[in-house]
Amino acid sequence: MSFRDLRGREDLQRHFSQALRAKRLAHAYLFVGPEGVGKRTFAVALARALLCENPPQDTFDACDNCPACRWVDAGTHPDFRYIALPPDKHEFPIELIHEVIRLLGVKPARGRFRVVVLDDADTLNEESANAFLKTLEEPPPASVLILLGTSPDYQLPTIRSRCQVVRFAPLGPEIVADWLRREGLVKSQAEALRIAQLAQGSLKRAQLLAQPEVWTLRQKLYELLHAGAMDAVSLAQEMQRFVESAGQNSAQQRQRAHLVVGFVVELLRNALAVQAGNEPGRELAAAEVSQVRRLAERVPANQLLQALDRCLLADYHIDRRLQLALILEALADSLSTLVTAAISASVS
């Protein structure tokens, strides 16, 4: 995919175009932002533009037709590598980091640059950071390293301070809705807009939200969370069943776990909004609005805020790749204790 095919990232394209013209292209970048907002796609488009053998004269982009463009797309270009965390690992093996360092140290075989994109940079540990240190301090000529992560806070200082940080904001709802329609994931404009409002600017999240099973889970969560006596066991089982339906793919399991927690956060925030005299979100269905209002009437703001804190902690632990079953069980237990106690007090 070329820059011309991307929407919502024109400012970043201009930034890199100006940096290349001014010969100020950095040797190492850290792309940060939520999952599904196009960091990997942009990184590959940047690699294509840097390695293209017949680039357009009027703009910084790739031609899509030369051998270099085709090789980048196929993953066979001698001067480009995309490396991600192995699916069976929680941290990058040090041998893989040494391979990245070796690749960056080799003179470009065909193009002007040698580009390495390292995904899942949030999982880099101290040993990996120390291995990278010399390469980042004394970068090989014509090398470009692009790290992909979710937040600078998840990177060790030795990595963060030696990279130019590039932030990717969530995509606009209109871009997400248009993408859903182009991909044939929705049946109507109304469905596309509703999903886009809930997707938080993430195409990955939008793709998951387009699955019918997600809305079944959402309905069950709303029903359990506003019930008079919340069943922690049932809540945990519903969460885990949905997460485990992703199979053995740990990245997809984490994505589903984030979505589950996001549904709870959405319910709690809407309840707080109602308590503050505001209307609940426009993306909510009529039945969900009723459930939100009922929760707001029965659970005081301090308990809702405590429950929200538990959700944010669960989200943090999911990102740190702790055991998902334990995270969801702990969250379900905390929510049950807080919400059930508040509802019981309100009716006594």
115-141 pLDDT, tens digit per residue, is 999 999 988 888 888 888 888 888 899
pLDDT of amino acid 15 = 92
Name the pTM for this structure. 0.86
pLDDT of amino acid 347 = 57
| Domain co-membership, 92 together with 18 | yes
Q: Strand pairing partners for 143?
A: 114
pLDDT of amino acid 60 = 92
Which of 146, 167, 188 terminates a domain? The answer is: 167
Q: What is the mean pLDDT of residues 51-69?
A: 93
How confident is the prediction for the chain on average, in pLDDT? 90
CA atoms within 13 A on the CB side of 183: 15
3-class SS at 115?
strand
Which of 134, 167, 200 terminates a domain? The answer is: 167
CA atoms within 13 A on the CB side of 221: 26
- The answer to whether residue 149 scores a pLDDT higher than 90 is yes
pLDDT bin (cut points 50, 70, 90) of residue 229 is: low
| Domain co-membership, 14 together with 112 | yes
- The answer to whether residue 201 scores a pLDDT higher than 90 is yes
CATH number at residue 253: 1.20.272
| Domain co-membership, 69 together with 142 | yes
188 located within any domain:
no
202 located within any domain:
no
- The answer to whether residue 18 scores a pLDDT higher than 80 is yes
- The answer to whether residue 16 scores a pLDDT higher than 60 is yes
pLDDT digits (tens, 9 = 90+) for 84-104: 988 777 788 899 999 999 999
> Cα separation of 18 and 168, whole Å?
18
| Domain co-membership, 18 together with 163 | yes
| Domain co-membership, 102 together with 248 | no
| Domain co-membership, 100 together with 229 | no
The total number of structural domains in the chain stands at 2
Q: Domain of 55? A: 3-167
DSSP strands (E only) in the chain? 28-32, 80-83, 114-118, 143-149, 164-167
Q: What is the mean pLDDT of residues 245-259?
A: 87
pLDDT digits (tens, 9 = 90+) for 152-198: 988 888 888 999 999 999 999 999 999 999 999 999 999 999 999 99
> Cα separation of 19 and 40, whole Å?
20
- The answer to whether residue 26 scores a pLDDT higher than 90 is yes
| Domain co-membership, 115 together with 249 | no
> Cα separation of 302 and 267, whole Å?
15
Considering only CA atoms, which of 89, 49, 52 is closest in space to residue 67?
52
In the chain, the amino acid numbered 317 is H
| Domain co-membership, 20 together with 148 | yes
Q: Which helix (H) or strand (E) holds 272?
A: helix 250-275
Other C-beta atoms closer than 10 Å to the C-beta of 26 total 16
| Token pair belonging to 233 | 């066991």
Q: What is the mean pLDDT of residues 325-329?
A: 94
Which of 115, 144, 167 terminates a domain? The answer is: 167
39 located within any domain:
yes
The C-alpha torsion from 85 through 87 and 91 to 93, rounded to 10°, is -70
| Domain co-membership, 131 together with 223 | no
- The answer to whether residue 73 scores a pLDDT higher than 90 is yes
> Cα separation of 145 and 338, whole Å?
46
Give the total residue count for the chain: 348
pLDDT of amino acid 311 = 96
pLDDT of amino acid 80 = 97
Helix axes 232-244, 212-225, angle to 10 degrees: 170
CATH number at residue 11: 3.40.50.300
